[in-house]
Chain A
């Protein structure tokens, strides 16, 4: 069965620090990968996605993620975080080309950014 592991439960950073959140998945087939963000009291919003092509994908708000197939990883990065990036971040995976397949989520990483 597929699973997603997020390495950090809670990350605390100061503004302007660089961010990297780890995500590894277990699945032998071809996958689509996602990062979602949930700001306090809000619903999940898509941050970025990888379906195919360039393994370095850029999302909204300056975030990017790199798909490394050999490591089954899809780590999220941002060079300089802002206070407004305080949120919970979820990595998710689904099988490629499987109609209707649901997302498998990691347990989430809470990011707290101090100003």
Chain B
């Protein structure tokens, strides 16, 4: 979905490095989410945000932090990356009311 853009699309880095994954959207949605996808585990929620002043932890927030710089931007940071954070990361947005979530193309992150 071109309306939700994630950068970078792929990243390989070393243990201990700080990594930032960025997400921007042109849908005008208030709600934004970060998930990670692991084989056999589906998608699990890391953090979500209702608006610029609101940040909430998800199921697996340990080792991650986020920043909602603007309504359209929601960044995910790994302060000190570790190998078990190797995964496919998805950003999603959602409008108000009963609406489905819209996903970005994903960031494939490999930590050596």
- Residues of A at under 8 Å CB distance from B? 9, 32, 34, 36, 42-46, 49, 51, 90, 96-97, 99-100, 102-108
Are B42 and A90 within 8 A (Cβ)? yes
Are A103 and B98 within 8 A (Cβ)? no
Return 11 A-B CB contacts under 8 Å, by A number.
Answer: A9-B40, A32-B98, A43-B105, A45-B1, A100-B48, A100-B50, A100-B56, A102-B45, A103-B45, A106-B42, A107-B41
Task: Report how far A42 CA is from B90 CA in the complex, Å.
Answer: 11
- Of chain B, the residue at the smallest CB distance from A107 is B42
The A/B interface has a contact count, at CB < 8 Å, of 54
Are B90 and A105 within 8 A (Cβ)? no
Task: Report how far A85 CA is from B97 CA in the complex, Å.
Answer: 30
4 further A-B contacts with Cβ under 8 Å, apart from A45-B103, A103-B45, are A49-B100, A100-B56, A100-B94, A103-B101
Tell me the minimal C-beta distance from A110 to chain B in angstroms. Answer: 9
Tell me the minimal C-beta distance from B71 to chain A in angstroms. Answer: 14
- Chain A residue numbers with a CB within 8 Å of B48 are 100, 102
Tell which of A49, A51, A96, A105 has the most Cβ of chain B within 10 Å: A105
Are A96 and B98 within 8 A (Cβ)? yes
Residue B33 is within 8 A (CB to CB) of chain A in the complex: yes
